[in-house]
Amino acid sequence: MSDSAAMAAAMQRMWTQFRPQIDERVEVLEAASVALAAGTLTEEHCQAAAIAAHTLAGTLGTFGLNEGTVLARTAEPVFSDGLPIDADQSAKVAEIAAALRTMIANKA
């Protein structure tokens, strides 16, 4: 097996290993956008969503999903400053989460 084939195989194993955590982080963003739209977003939701977006930004880039990194970085500041958050941001975060979900599904 060539070095590049071995590296690709190792990256695929890592993707498979970390995929559940990646999906969970997208779910956190989805839940935060729903809570924001419903007016039930808590400080805990904000913190969890900021951490999820930050982690996704780094993780997705590692797996070559650079657009996912950009999207996650766009979502991160929405939640980083805590409450209150303009409710109009919920649609933006929902779109980002949906785009991330699609991108991740297509990577599989």
- On the question of pLDDT at 108 being above 70, the answer is no
> Is 65 a member of any domain?
yes
> Is 1 a member of any domain?
no
User: What is the pTM (predicted TM-score) of this model?
Assistant: 0.92
Q: How many CA atoms lie within 13 A of 18 on its CB side?
A: 18
Average pLDDT over residues 80-96: 88
Compute, in degrees rounded to 10, the torsion defined by CA atoms 31, 34, 35, 38. Answer: -160
Distance CA 18, CA 44 (A): 24
> Is 13 a member of any domain?
no
State the total domains in the chain: 1
Confidence of residue 90 (pLDDT cuts 50, 70, 90): confident
What rounded mean pLDDT belongs to the chain?
Answer: 93
> Is 89 a member of any domain?
yes
Range of the domain at 38: 20-107
Contact 71, 53 (CB under 8 A): no
> Is 2 a member of any domain?
no
∠ CA 16-28-103 to the nearest 5 degrees?
50
pLDDT in tens, 3-45: 889 998 999 999 999 999 999 999 999 999 999 999 999 999 9
- On the question of pLDDT at 48 being above 70, the answer is yes
> Is 4 a member of any domain?
no
> Is 86 a member of any domain?
yes
Per-residue tokens: 30: 């989805």
